[in-house]
Amino acid sequence: MSALKFRLPPNDGPVLSVVDMHTGGEPLRIVLSGAPVPDGSTVLEKRRWVRENMDWVRRLLMLEPRGHRDMYGALLVPSELPEAHLGVLFMHNEGYSTMCGHAVIALGRFAVDYGLVDPQGPETPVNIHCPCGVVRAYVSHNEGRSREVRFHSVPAFTLCTDETVNVPNYGEVVVDIAYGGAFYAFVSAQRFGLDVCTSKTRDLVDAAAAVTDAVKAQVKISHPDSEDLAFLYGTILTDGKDEYSEEPTANLCIFADSQVDRSPTGSGVTARIALQYHKGLIQLEQTRTFKSGATNSLFTGKAVQETKCGAHKAVIVEVSGQAYYTGTASFVLENEDPLKDGFLLK
């Protein structure tokens, strides 16, 4: 058979073109074209507007049949801040996050490779305006290609420690809650008789999702900058190895609607370092390695500077990792398709 020439199939609606990447196994689908420009004068206002008026983009690209339960996306938007090279809204199976570290690592490479910023020396700074604030990424270069990316977080802090919640089917569970651009509850998987690296994913998801539901119902989450940031994003189960060590410590993040992060979770690593620093378990400039319980992929992280977030003592955290390209695609829909808006299996 002769080679078929690429062309779009029959379609009735918008054509959404994307670049697909992954960081530590966690996917990122970056919208290149086809989506409207959201209304709003700030990135947070754009996030609200997209959630209320443009959710079809998220559903079409994240959900089946074009995506899957654990797909993750990035919609590039204009930023109101002059120092930002780009603004971004994060999408997942349930809605829109305020921060995503694995996405920032991927977007750093993308911004350099797609000409959103000009390469500079051995490392190019890229200021990415996320809903939580400006995150400063640094993209390294080697042999003419973008490589590893590190980023400096927004101020990260501990909201509370040793908080007891009543979790149905599991009894009383003691959690810590910390912020790394998004809020997470932290608890050792051993509390549930589980191991983050070897237990069945379904068992880990069930335990973490139950903790998330309990914390949402029983603990007041607040953020000094905006109520839009004041929600629990998910629960991170750890191996319990919070004391500093040169050996990797493993964790698994379950967020949104029981979505499983394949990477060590960039914003989760940020929050976990803030928590360890708060407890005196790690010092400034002391690098730790974090391993994903799902894929064994690695991020490194360290607290680099003390700061404040409202009344909270906070730290700026540096997280490093590597993203890779997996392909490009153009997605279409046909209006008579009864499943054109996307779906998820429960």
What pLDDT digit, counting tens, does each position of 132-169 carry?
A: 999 999 999 988 899 999 999 999 999 999 999 999 99
Over residues 177-196, the pLDDT tens digits come to 999 999 999 999 999 999 99
Which is nearest to 167 in space by CA: 218, 240, 230? 218
Please, which pLDDT band fits residue 3 given cuts at 50, 70 and 90? confident
| 214, 172 Cβ separation under 8 angstroms | no
Residue 176 vs residues 128, 172, 221, 225, 302: alpha-carbon distances, Å? 28, 13, 12, 21, 19
CA distance 130 to 46: 11
Look at residue 1 and tell me whether its pLDDT is greater than 60. no
Look at residue 38 and tell me whether its pLDDT is greater than 80. yes
Over residues 253-282, the pLDDT tens digits come to 999 999 999 999 999 999 999 999 999 999
Task: Please give the average per-residue pLDDT across 283-301, as a whole number.
Answer: 98
CA angle 187, 193, 196 (to 5 degrees): 60
Catalytic residues: 100
Task: Please give the average per-residue pLDDT across 45-58, as a whole number.
Answer: 98
Look at residue 2 and tell me whether its pLDDT is greater than 70. no
Look at residue 101 and tell me whether its pLDDT is greater than 70. yes
Q: Are strands 259-260 and 249-255 parallel, antiparallel or unpaired?
A: antiparallel
Which is nearest to 162 in space by CA: 192, 193, 186? 186
| 189, 207 Cβ separation under 8 angstroms | yes
Q: How many residues does the chain have?
A: 346
CA distance 38 to 36: 6
Structure-token match 């997605």, residue found: 331
Beta bridge partners of 262: none
Residue 212 vs residues 13, 59, 128, 319: alpha-carbon distances, Å? 37, 23, 28, 24
Which ranges in the chain belong to alpha helices (H)?
Answer: 43-53, 55-62, 101-113, 201-218, 266-278
**HSE, side-chain direction, 13 A CA sphere, residue 256:** 19
Q: Dihedral of the CA atoms 259, 264, 266, 269 (nearest 10)?
A: 110
Which ranges in 116-182 belong to alpha helices (H)?
Answer: none
Q: Please report the pLDDT score of residue 13 as a whole number.
A: 86
